[in-house]
Amino acid sequence: METDRSVISFPKANEVPEGAALAVAEHGKWDGLYLVDGEVRRWEGALEDVRSPVCFATADGATEQVIVGRTAKLDETAARAALAAAVGAWDHGRGAWPSSRVADRLAALSKFNERMRGERESVVRLLMWEIGKTRKDAESEFDRTVQYTQDTIEAVKEVDRTSARFQLAEGFIGQIRRSPLGVVLCMGPFNYPLNETYTTLIPALIMGNTIVSKLPRFGALSHMPLLRAMAECFPRGAVNVVNGDGATVVGPMMSSGQIDVLAFIGTSRVANILTRQHPKPNRLRTVTGLEAKNPAVVLPDADLDLAVRECVNGALSFNGQRCTAIKLVFVHRSIADDFVSRLSAAVDALRAGMPWEPGVTLTPLPEPNKCATLAALVDDAVAKGAKVANRGDRSFATFYRPAVVYPVTPSMRLYHEEQFGPIVPVAVYDDEREIDAFMRESNYGQQIALFGRDRDRIAFLVDALVNQVCRININSQCRRGPDSFPFTGRKDSAEGTLSVTDALRQFSIRSVVACQATESNKQLVQDIVASRKSAFLSTDFIL
**CB closer to ligand G3H out of 125 and 479:** 479
Q: What 3-state DSSP class applies to 324?
A: coil
Binding-residue total with ligand G3H (CB under 6 A): 9
- Tally of CB atoms within 10 A around 358: 9
- Tally of CB atoms within 10 A around 46: 13
Q: How far is the CB of 316 from ligand G3H (least distance, A)?
A: 12
Please choose, out of 152-160, 318-326, 355-363, 427-435, the segment that lies near ligand G3H by the rule CB under 6 A: 318-326
Q: How far is the CB of 392 from ligand G3H (least distance, A)?
A: 22
Q: How far is the CB of 420 from ligand G3H (least distance, A)?
A: 9
Judged by CB under 6 A, does residue 479 bind ligand G3H?
Answer: yes
CA–CA dist 265, 493 (Å, integer):
10
Please choose, out of 101-109, 200-208, 321-329, 339-347, the segment that lies near ligand G3H by the rule CB under 6 A: 321-329
Q: How far is the CB of 150 from ligand G3H (least distance, A)?
A: 17
Contact (Cβ atoms closer than 8 angstroms) between residue 248 and residue 218: no
Judged by CB under 6 A, does residue 148 bind ligand G3H?
Answer: no
Judged by CB under 6 A, does residue 191 bind ligand G3H?
Answer: yes
Q: Could you say which of 33, 116, 238, 323 contacts ligand G3H (CB under 6 A)?
A: 323
Contact (Cβ atoms closer than 8 angstroms) between residue 326 and residue 302: no
478 Cβ neighbours under 8 A, 6+ residues apart = 294, 296, 314, 324, 325, 326, 446, 447, 448, 449, 471
Q: What are the distances in angstroms from CA 267 to CA 47, 329, 418?
A: 25, 22, 10
CA–CA dist 84, 104 (Å, integer):
24
Q: Could you say which of 281, 481, 482, 486 contacts ligand G3H (CB under 6 A)?
A: 481
Binding mask 194-233 for ligand G3H (x = CB under 6 A): --x-------------------------------------
Q: What 3-state DSSP class applies to 69?
A: strand
CA atoms within 13 A on the CB side of 139: 7
CA–CA dist 383, 379 (Å, integer):
6
Judged by CB under 6 A, does residue 249 bind ligand G3H?
Answer: no
CA–CA dist 334, 340 (Å, integer):
12
Judged by CB under 6 A, does residue 482 bind ligand G3H?
Answer: no
Binding mask 439-478 for ligand G3H (x = CB under 6 A): ----------------------------------------
Judged by CB under 6 A, does residue 294 bind ligand G3H?
Answer: no
Judged by CB under 6 A, does residue 322 bind ligand G3H?
Answer: yes
Kindly list the residues in this chain that would bind ligand G3H in the complex (CB under 6 A).
Answer: 191-192, 196, 322-324, 479-481
